[in-house]
Amino acid sequence: MLESRFPVCLTLCLVRCAAGLSGQYPLVQNLTVTEGGTANLTCRVEYNDNTSLQWSNPAQQTLFFGDKKALRDNRIELVRATSSELTISISDVLLSDEGMYTCSLFTMPIRTAKAYLTVLGVPAQPEIDGLTKPALEGDQITLTCSSQGSKPAADLRWYRNEKEVKGAKVVKPMGKTYTVQSFLQLQVDRNDDGAVYTCRVDHVSLSHSPQQATEVLEVHYAPRVEINPLHSVPLEGQYLRLECVSKGNPSPDPVLWTKDGGELPDLDRMIVEGRDLTFTSLNKTDNGTYRCEASNHLGTSSAEYKLYVYDAPTSPPPPTTAPIHPSTPGSTAQLDSPVRKSSVTEQRDPNAVGQHGTDHALIGGVVAVVVFVTLCLIIVLGRYLARHKGTYLTNEAKGADDAPDADTAIINAEGNHAHAEEKKEYFI
């Protein structure tokens, strides 16, 4: 009876031991953490028979043996220690903590598993350099954006008014981290005045809160002037306002209004309000060339308007558009009055084009009919001449063969009338 039980017990023991040995392998996972964060290292074992577990750092220093702390580091704490798990935490992780950590299971032989701890270096707040305030139109400037301490190297992106523009990137290794710079070259013009340039840092450690720096570009430029009239056709007795639009930085205030190269002659009716020139009631003496001039420390610009005042008509005149010629700094632009003698005398009926088109069509039809009739007459006349072509003899000629004189020839011709058919010729 005892002998029959012994093989069964031995077989059961071997199965359990084999199962225990096959499951006694430590299981770990690699871990990535941001600098300054907390890393939890976990080691698990299945079917452990109370064998001790141990964590050691990349320098092979024991951190915990079971629930016993071996290294004096206040940042390292025990989280969980059982026969099947050993979990520890490292707070305020440093870049120097990166490396291969080992979990050991003290069986015979000792079995180990390795987990790599990756520490991400957080890039510093970016800074923008190279911006001169104010910049002058036409200047060539280079903006530089810099960020330090990233690991791996960060990516820097430039934006102009929220639209991405491309810069040149340079990466410099600084120990375990990287310093990244991006350069943006600009040819400054007046359109850049007030433009917002932003440098943004993209990094895996900043997935939820990207860092950026912003600068607003200020550009100084010489003024440009235009004159806009309120009415397209100046009429006598009418109110008129000429608006002087001057754009420059610094703002070219105030502007100077002149007439025909001199001062305004009638300040009671010609009122300057800010940049506008207002005529309270136009008359013929207001005819002339009016000039608006604006200037700042970078230059001077002007524009001209030729005013011609017309008599007030009994019916409204056709509207016209005044050409406006803006000028570049240092030059003069001319704005002609929209009503000139030539333009008035050359006014045409808007229906004139349609009338001319109808006349041309009628004349063309008549010419076509005349040509067709002429061709028909030529064809009919040609066929008639062709059918009646031949030789015809007079009475005198018919009797001239034997007659001594013309009278005798006529008498002979009458006598020979019966034989006339023999001398006729026909052409078919």
Strand order in the sheet with 240-249: 135-136, 219-229, 240-249, 276-279, 270-273
pLDDT band with cut points at 50, 70 and 90 for residue 414: low
419, two tokens: 């034989």
Q: 46 vs 23, 77, 144, 400, 411, CA distance in Å?
A: 5, 24, 56, 158, 162
pLDDT above 80 for 302: yes
pLDDT reported for residue 413: 54
pLDDT above 90 for 32: yes
pLDDT above 90 for 179: yes
Cα separation, 287 vs 292, whole angstroms: 16
Average pLDDT over every residue of 154-182: 94
φ, ψ dihedrals at 345, nearest 5° = -70, -25
Burial of 267 (0-12, 13-18, 19+ CB in 10 A): exposed
pLDDT above 80 for 81: yes
Checking DSSP bridges between strand 99-105 and strand 240-249, what pairing results, if any?
unpaired
pLDDT reported for residue 386: 79
Residue with tokens 């990287």: 178
Over the stretch 40-49, which tens digit does the pLDDT of each residue have?
Answer: 999 999 877 7
Over the stretch 190-245, which tens digit does the pLDDT of each residue have?
Answer: 999 999 999 999 999 987 777 999 999 999 999 999 999 987 788 888 899 999 99
- Average pLDDT value over all residues in the chain: 80
pLDDT reported for residue 268: 85
φ, ψ dihedrals at 316, nearest 5° = -60, 135
Checking DSSP bridges between strand 332-335 and strand 299-307, what pairing results, if any?
parallel
Ranking 57-71, 76-90, 320-334 by mean pLDDT, the lowest is: 320-334
pLDDT band with cut points at 50, 70 and 90 for residue 346: very low
pLDDT band with cut points at 50, 70 and 90 for residue 50: confident
Q: Which amino acid is at 262?
A: G
For residues 303 and 393, which has the higher predicted lDDT (pLDDT)?
303
Q: Which amino acid is at 252?
A: P
pLDDT above 50 for 402: yes
Average pLDDT over every residue of 384-406: 62
pLDDT reported for residue 3: 41
pLDDT above 90 for 24: no
For residues 409 and 34, which has the higher predicted lDDT (pLDDT)?
34
pLDDT above 70 for 116: yes
- Enter the DSSP assignment of 329: T
CA neighbours within 13 Å on the CB side: how many for 414? 5
CB-based contact 60:102 (threshold 8 Å): yes
pLDDT above 50 for 347: no
Over the stretch 258-276, which tens digit does the pLDDT of each residue have?
Answer: 999 899 988 888 999 888 9
φ, ψ dihedrals at 231, nearest 5° = -115, 145
96, two tokens: 């120097």
Average pLDDT over every residue of 288-299: 92
pLDDT band with cut points at 50, 70 and 90 for residue 152: very high
- Nearest to residue 136, comparing CAs of 330, 298, 331? 298
pLDDT reported for residue 427: 47
Bridge partners of residue 88, in order along the sequence: 41, 78
Spell 290-312 as b/e; 16+ CB within 10 A means b: bbbbbbbebbbbbbbbebbbbee
CB-based contact 199:210 (threshold 8 Å): no
pLDDT reported for residue 416: 53
pLDDT reported for residue 300: 92
